[in-house]
Chain A
Amino acid sequence: MYSLRRFASKHSKAYEVVYKFVEPPILASLTWLNKVAGDRFDKPITWMEKHTKGALFDCQMCGNCVLSKTGMTCPMNCPKTIRNGPCGGVRANGNCEVKPEMKCVWVEAWGGASKMRNPQEIELVQFAVDRSHQGSSAWIRLAKERDKEKQDRKQAAIAEDVS
């Protein structure tokens, strides 16, 4: 898994292209599924997300996914779970202070981000994770948020038309 995860950071650009391609259909199907079936499929979807992202990125299911902003590198693999890394303890060879045999997650992240279309995304301040989302699906949450934004925009447009 560690090698797959490092592969993702190294080939962040290719992963970004794939992500841009598959994200809309995944979110659209989740939105549709949520409308017709409610939360009945949340468990299998979460299971699927856990195993896909787990295999590809060593995803820890924090439920606050920022992969696309951190060079396709999951920051939850940092022993300090830093969201705005790296810390000051990185070894001269770029390895982790806590796990000397592991490449620093954030060295990988900055490297990955530099290859992506929006390399500045990693420079945005990320507030600490909402720990109550641990173990839940970031996909479902994102789908719901996007849908709500869409509905809100619709409402606003209607309100504007009426006035």
Chain B
Amino acid sequence: MNKPIDNHDNEHHPYVDNPGSPLPPKEGHVSQGRFERVLRDGHFAVTSEIAPPDSVDADEVYRRAALFDGAVDAINATDGSGANCHMSSVAVCALLSHIGYSPILQISCRDKNRIAIQGDILGAAAMGVCNVLALTGDDVSSGDHPEAKPVFDLDSVSLLTTIKTMREESRFLSGRKLDLAPKVFAGSSINPFVPPIESRVLQLRKKVEAGAEFIQSQYCFDMDILKSMMKRAVDMGLTEKAFILPGVGTLASAKTAKWLRSNVPGVHIPDSIVKRLEGAEKQKAEGQKICVELMQQVKEIEGVSGVHVMAYRQEEFVTEMVDASGVLDGRKAWAPTGWVDTART
């Protein structure tokens, strides 16, 4: 379990010995990770995300990840989400990769310039991270350090170009050669629910052209908008080039829903959802029921490859909801069963 991860030579670390070792390379796959494999094998994938702890406790990271065992194929580690400070996403992903999980490293362009970001990509890949999600990031003004300097040297599309350059051309942006390129599966996000709604699919195409191989979306509570965007994406052939995983979420109450849509820019929740929550006896349970239904509806849409479940502060219900939705068709997502805390036993 504590053997070092060696990207150079899989032969010495077949994954039966060490679940954190890269999988054997496979034709047509850019990474050696489990997440890409699930998608390319044609399975409907489920991803979720954990908020990195405000702590140095690695066990806390493992405890949070274990909540998803069996139901989630890849775990996003947010990078200072909402511009709030937490444990770094690189560290969370390194910890999770080490025991075999397939985390998705979120990189926000808010806090780091191109020098730091390229260094992080190399470092993360060296520690076994196989998936990267390129994000522009929330502005510092929305977080707990509004006095910080926003960087935004790159944006999400430039970051995708950067990842592709490093991976395909084995070089830094400067042109300097890499001895070993980071074999990471690259993704980005979209938000089809906010203006300019008509142009959002063109922006999706831009991201795919820049190198996005998977796409996760912002909270989807409005199926009509999602369906019309997906139809255009299918017509443009974008779903042949990238795996699209719309985001769904749980709302704890009608009050939460109202707060979210008026205080978190980019979150679009139709009145029908708020009314349904208001009319329910147990709003939290209703919120979860809505989430399950959304997962099922998302799966029916042509061109969709999976679903991204965002259950902030309701992480312990993700497994239950995924099971209830039946979207995995009885498949069990890989999890490092029998993990032992070697340092303490």
Instruction: State the A residues within 8 Å of B (CB).
Output: 79-94, 97-98, 104, 106-107, 110-111, 123, 125-128, 131
Contacts and interface: CB of A to CB of B under 8 A. Distances in A.
Contacts, number: 93
B203 A84 contact: yes
A94 B137 CA distance: 18
12 contacts: A84-B158, A85-B155, A88-B190, A88-B194, A88-B218, A89-B266, A90-B191, A97-B266, A107-B195, A107-B196, A128-B114, A131-B153
B47 interface: no
The 4 closest A-B pairs by CB, nearest first: A88-B191, A84-B157, A97-B265, A128-B158
The binding surface of chain A is classed by DSSP as loop
Interface residues of B, number: 35
B205 interface: yes
Contact of B265 (A80, A81, A91): A91
A76 to B, nearest CB: 11
Contacts of B156: 84, 87
A79 B140 CA distance: 10
Interface of B: 109-110, 114, 136-139, 141-142, 150, 152-158, 161, 189-191, 194-196, 199, 202-203, 205-206, 209-210, 218, 265-266, 268
Contact of A92 (B137, B150, B206, B268): B268
Contacts of B137: 80
A111 B139 contact: no
A92 B157 CA distance: 23
Contacts of B202: 123
A89 B161 contact: no
Contacts of A82: 136, 152, 155
Contacts of A86: 195-196, 203
A125 B161 contact: yes
Contacts of A81: 152, 155
A83 B155 contact: yes
Contacts of A89: 138-139, 191, 194, 265-266
A107 to B, nearest CB: 5
B157 A125 contact: yes
Nearest to B156: A84
B194 A91 contact: yes
A107 B191 CA distance: 14
B150 A80 contact: yes
Question: Among A86, A88, A98, A111, which residue has the most Cβ atoms of chain B within 10 A?
Answer: A88
A127 B153 CA distance: 11
Contacts of B150: 79-80
B153 A128 contact: yes
Contacts of A111: 196
A87 B189 CA distance: 10
B191 A110 contact: no
